[in-house]
């Protein structure tokens, strides 16, 4: 598989060994829209980094990096253009190559297979600023491991944030998660600390091939977790075990190594989120399942016949002393549920958003556009520090991403209205008009969204007088036949 690389630099403080340099990360571009631009994510700090490309031809990098040989099985550093990457990083932070001492290869981290693109692996080099007289740019600051951990784990509303590179490069050894036994064939990511994401092959829709299995297994389980007020308490939590059967053995190994007091949380009932439930109930019959009623009634007895607790949102769960809050977020389906990890303020959003691309709502399971918009605003009000979708990477600009979803849905809705005003009467006409530039394999899921947009337009009384909802609904039956013929 093709691979991409990133170079990250840990630059130690010239006088204080405990501190290293972080740089304020560039924000995604504004929307040029007053409403969307009013939702602002807090500042994000991380190690300075740059893309690391392969060298062309016979050229060689002139930067000497100590210890590179000991990693040579994983990465042959001499094949990469370290000069350019390092220069661009030093430029970002306002230093010159001469300001830093020797470089040493600190760590090489392979990214988990989030998809849809190839993983981006990170090369961490560590050096020290030797010229102590340098003044620091406004976009840079010195931080210690302790202060980074407290920013990550004791999140205060709207406070500044620390990104994933520093966690993978330096903080993971201080992690709060117990030793997980995750098969070596499954690279995983722990970010924020305490939240483990394992992308596992699943029967999901294109362009993704995996569903993120999320595991919480805090190291220090307190004896008294203060059971008051919690709907469920456990020593470990698993979210959305949705892997397909060929990964069931791996899932079994993960579950077998977790504590017996296990809570299983599913965001919604789609196969790519529940396909592994049967493995969990065989492996740990003491496990309890938490899900919305509308989700639970769509999950078969073969998948789950053990203990089950219905949740409706706002309930709190206690896992090894850590608090998680269920958040009812209908839209994708009518039983869809998000989950907020209180201490890191990271929000698991199920299929409300995906790592890349747009949301698909399921018209056959109570998907609803009005609900979808309301749930999106509910998520923005929470002002999460990180957004965790079940397909793709963690998103570090949650409000920006959610606004992008709002804008995208509203844009589609206005094109749908325009198509109707221009005479489109059937589902097929509208889809063919609005999604003409999209590959036809996406027309069936897109049609689900179109039906829900038409409902939403009708609720807002925006449809033109001559438009017949009856004709439109009748036409949706013929739609799949028409698409099939293409
Ligand atoms: Zn789904």
pLDDT value at position 64?
86
Report the chain's C-alpha Rg in angstroms.
24
* 298 CA from centroid of ligand 1 (Å): 13
Dist. CA 474–CA 1, nearest whole Å? 46
Indicate if the pLDDT at residue 444 is higher than 80: yes
* 365 CA from centroid of ligand 1 (Å): 10
**Encoding tokens for residue 230?**
């919690």
User: What is the residue-wise DSSP string for 125-151?
Assistant: EEEEB--TTPPPPTTEEEEEHHHHHHH
pLDDT value at position 1?
46
Fold category of 176-404 in CATH: Metallo-beta-lactamase; Chain A (3.60.15)
Contact 39, 400 (CB under 8 A): yes
348-370, pLDDT tens digit by residue?
A: 999 999 988 888 899 999 999 99
Dist. CA 269–CA 273, nearest whole Å? 6
Cα 354 to Cα 292, 415, 443, distances in angstroms: 21, 22, 18
Residue 190's H or E segment, with its range, is strand 189-190
272-288, pLDDT tens digit by residue?
A: 999 999 999 999 999 99
Contacts of 418 (CB under 8 A, 6+ apart): none
Helix (H, G, I), strand (E, B) or coil at 239: strand
104-159, pLDDT tens digit by residue?
A: 999 999 999 998 899 999 999 999 998 777 788 999 999 999 999 999 998 987 79
Calculate mean pLDDT across residues 369-397. Answer: 97
Contact 199, 114 (CB under 8 A): yes
Percent of the chain whose predicted confidence (pLDDT) is above 70 = 96
* 189 CA from centroid of ligand 1 (Å): 22
198-227, pLDDT tens digit by residue?
A: 999 999 988 899 999 999 999 876 655 556
Dist. CA 18–CA 198, nearest whole Å? 31
Calculate mean pLDDT across residues 305-313. Answer: 94
Bridge-based pairing of strands 196-201 and 189-190 is: antiparallel
pLDDT value at position 476?
85
* 367 CA from centroid of ligand 1 (Å): 10
* 346 CA from centroid of ligand 1 (Å): 20
Residue 247's H or E segment, with its range, is none
Residue 248 — φ and ψ, nearest 5°? -65, -30
* 323 CA from centroid of ligand 1 (Å): 25
CB atoms < 10 A from the CB of 205, how many?
18
* 474 CA from centroid of ligand 1 (Å): 25
Dist. CA 291–CA 264, nearest whole Å? 9
Dist. CA 296–CA 305, nearest whole Å? 11
**Encoding tokens for residue 48?**
């300075």
Dist. CA 460–CA 454, nearest whole Å? 10
pLDDT value at position 179?
76
* 361 CA from centroid of ligand 1 (Å): 8
Contact 379, 404 (CB under 8 A): no
* 354 CA from centroid of ligand 1 (Å): 10
* 247 CA from centroid of ligand 1 (Å): 19
Dist. CA 475–CA 44, nearest whole Å? 48
* 319 CA from centroid of ligand 1 (Å): 25
Of the spans 243-257, 428-442, 465-479, which averages the highest pLDDT?
243-257
**Encoding tokens for residue 69?**
């040989």
Calculate mean pLDDT across residues 308-336. Answer: 96
pLDDT value at position 144?
96
Contact 314, 325 (CB under 8 A): yes
User: What is the residue-wise DSSP string for 406-454?
Assistant: HHHHHHHHHHHHHHHHTT--SHHHHHHHHTTTS-GGGHHHHHHHHHHHH
Lowest mean pLDDT among 253-257, 320-324, 367-371, 476-480: 476-480
Query: Which residues neighbour ligand 1 (ion) by CB within 5 Å?
Result: 270, 351
* 313 CA from centroid of ligand 1 (Å): 18
63-94, pLDDT tens digit by residue?
A: 888 988 888 888 888 889 999 999 999 999 99
Residue with token string 């060689």: 60
Dist. CA 272–CA 202, nearest whole Å? 6
Dist. CA 280–CA 263, nearest whole Å? 10
- Cβ-based burial of 366 (10 A; exposed 0-12, middle 13-18, buried ≥19): middle
Q: Which residues pair with 288 in a beta bridge?
A: 263
Return the CATH number of the domain spanning residue range 4-150: 3.90.79.10
What are the sequence ranges of the domains in the chain?
A: 4-150, 176-404, 422-485
pLDDT value at position 134?
76
* 70 CA from centroid of ligand 1 (Å): 43
Lowest mean pLDDT among 29-33, 191-195, 204-208, 283-287: 204-208
Dist. CA 228–CA 220, nearest whole Å? 20
* 417 CA from centroid of ligand 1 (Å): 26
* 330 CA from centroid of ligand 1 (Å): 11
* 445 CA from centroid of ligand 1 (Å): 11
């Amino acid at each position: 598989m093709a691979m991409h690389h990133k170079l990250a630099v840990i630059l130690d403080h010239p006088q204080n060994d405990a501190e290293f340099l972080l740089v304020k990360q560039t924000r995604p571009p504004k929307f040029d829209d007053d409403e969307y631009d009013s939702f602002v994510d807090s500042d994000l700090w991380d190690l300075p980094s740059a893309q690391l490309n392969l060298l062309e031809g016979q050229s060689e990098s002139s930067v000497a990096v100590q210890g590179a040989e000991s990693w040579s099985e994983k990465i042959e550093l001499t094949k990469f253009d370290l000069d350019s990457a390092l220069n661009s990083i030093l430029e970002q932070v306002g230093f010159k190559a001469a300001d830093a001492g020797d470089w040493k290869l600190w760590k090489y981290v392979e990214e988990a297979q989030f998809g849809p693109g190839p993983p981006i692996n990170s090369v961490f080099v560590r050096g020290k600023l030797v010229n102590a007289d340098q003044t620091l740019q406004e976009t840079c600051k010195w931080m210690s491991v302790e202060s980074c951990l407290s920013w990550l784990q004791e999140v205060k509303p709207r406070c500044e944030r620390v990104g994933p590179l520093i966690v993978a490069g330096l903080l993971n050894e201080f992690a709060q998660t117990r030793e997980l036994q995750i098969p070596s064939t499954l690279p995983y990511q722990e970010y924020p600390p305490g939240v483990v994401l394992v992308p596992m092959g699943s029967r999901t829709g294109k362009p993704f091939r995996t569903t993120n299995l999320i595991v919480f297994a805090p190291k220090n389980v307190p004896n008294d977790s203060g059971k008051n007020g919690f709907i469920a308490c456990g020593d470990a939590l698993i979210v959305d075990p949705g892997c397909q059967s060929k990964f069931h053995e791996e899932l079994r190994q993960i579950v077998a190594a977790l504590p017996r007091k296990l809570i299983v949380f599913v965001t919604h009932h789609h196969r790519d989120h529940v396909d592994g439930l049967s493995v969990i109930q065989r492996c740990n019959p003491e496990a309890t399942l938490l899900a919305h009623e509308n989700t639970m009634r769509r999950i078969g007895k073969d998948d789950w016949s053990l203990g089950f607790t219905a949740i409706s949102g706002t309930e709190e769960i206690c896992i090894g002393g850590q608090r998680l809050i269920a958040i009812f977020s209908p839209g994708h389906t009518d039983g869809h549920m998000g989950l907020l990890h209180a201490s890191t303020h990271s929000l698991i959003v199920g299929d409300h958003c995906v790592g890349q691309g747009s949301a698909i709502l399921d018209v056959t399971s109570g998907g609803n556009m009005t609900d979808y918009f309301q749930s999106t605003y509910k998520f923005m009000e929470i002002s999460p520090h990180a957004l965790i979708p079940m397909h793709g990477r963690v998103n570090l600009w949650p409000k920006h991403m959610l606004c992008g979803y709002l804008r995208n849905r509203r844009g589609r809705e206005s094109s749908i209205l325009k198509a109707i005003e221009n005479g489109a009467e059937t589902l097929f006409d509208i889809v063919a008009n609005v999604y003409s530039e999209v590959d036809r394999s996406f027309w069936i899921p897109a049609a689900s969204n179109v039906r829900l947009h038409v409902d939403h337009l009708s609720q807002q009384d925006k449809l033109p007088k001559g438009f017949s909802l009856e004709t439109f609904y009748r036409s949706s039956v013929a739609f799949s036949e028409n698409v099939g013929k293409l």
